[in-house]
Amino acid sequence: MKRLQNRPLLLVLLLTTIVALALHETGNMQAVENLILRPVTPIQDHLSSLANDFGDLVQTFRDLRELRRRNEELQSLADSLTIENVRLKELESENETLRQLLQFTQANPTYSYRAAEVVGRVIGRDPSNLLRYIIIDVGTSDGVTKGMPVVTDRGLVGRIVEVSSKSSKVLLITDVSSSVNAIIQSSRATGIVEGKVDGGLMMKYIPQPVTVNVGDIILTSGLGATFPKRLVIGQVTAVHKRDIEMFQQAEIKPTVDFDRLEIVLVITNFEPIEMAQ
């Protein structure tokens, strides 16, 4: 029974074989192949295109991953160069400061100096006063004592008011409790420079007959023996003169930039004289 069921299939295969042989012998087999392959070709092309697109997508993903890796390497290199650039700029700035301080010491060989770095800056308020001072990293172990003047290449900074073994407190000339005997370079008239509440300076007790001009340079006079002579304090920016008063006053702009102090010099061979009360 099973053989009878398979007989039609065998007949179909036999006929197909005979027809194929006949077409091959007559040269018409190519036309049949073209007829069969014609609808299949677009599908094959589409599948091939999809395969190519998928391959391109995989390659793009690999390229993006490689690009990201290189980007991270370049960013790391850029960060390293930025840090190195900052370090070099800091060294350049420090070297320039030291060079200027060296020129100052060479131009003023009379005194002995001790270089110090500003390690802390305190500007605070207490109930009775405004305090303006800095902490430097030298003390009694470095030969520093109370009263020693502190300078930079730009001029007078202040004086030592407290000393420990490794650090010192410097009262700035801009503090309201500070007073410096001063002289006007052009006229040689004397007065006293005091700190103001706003951080500026005022030269007081200038005799009325003296002509004071904006731009005049103010130096330490050495009177009172609290500071050496001829240290630059600042420059006159305004003059206040009233005929009914015995003295005139002048506002002074300090030559030292107190907001940018980094390295200062302590004059260690100047001994201030404490005036008897």
118-172 tens-digit pLDDT:
765 555 444 445 678 889 888 898 889 999 999 988 999 999 999 999 889 999 9
Give me the CATH topology for the region 113-267.
Thrombin, subunit H (2.40.10)
Kindly report, residue by residue over 17-72, the tens digit of the pLDDT: 665 555 555 555 555 555 555 565 566 566 566 666 666 667 777 778 878 878 77
How many residues would you count in the chain? 277
Residues 6+ apart with CB under 8 A from 205: 190, 191, 192, 247
CA–CA gap between residue 178 and residue 134 (Å, rounded): 14
Instruction: In whole angstroms, give the CA distance from residue 8 to residue 119.
Output: 107
* Separation of CA 243 from chain center: 50
d(CA 129, CA 172): 14
**Do the Cβ atoms of 194 and 179 come closer than 8 Å?**
yes
User: In the prediction, which pLDDT does 52 show?
Assistant: 67
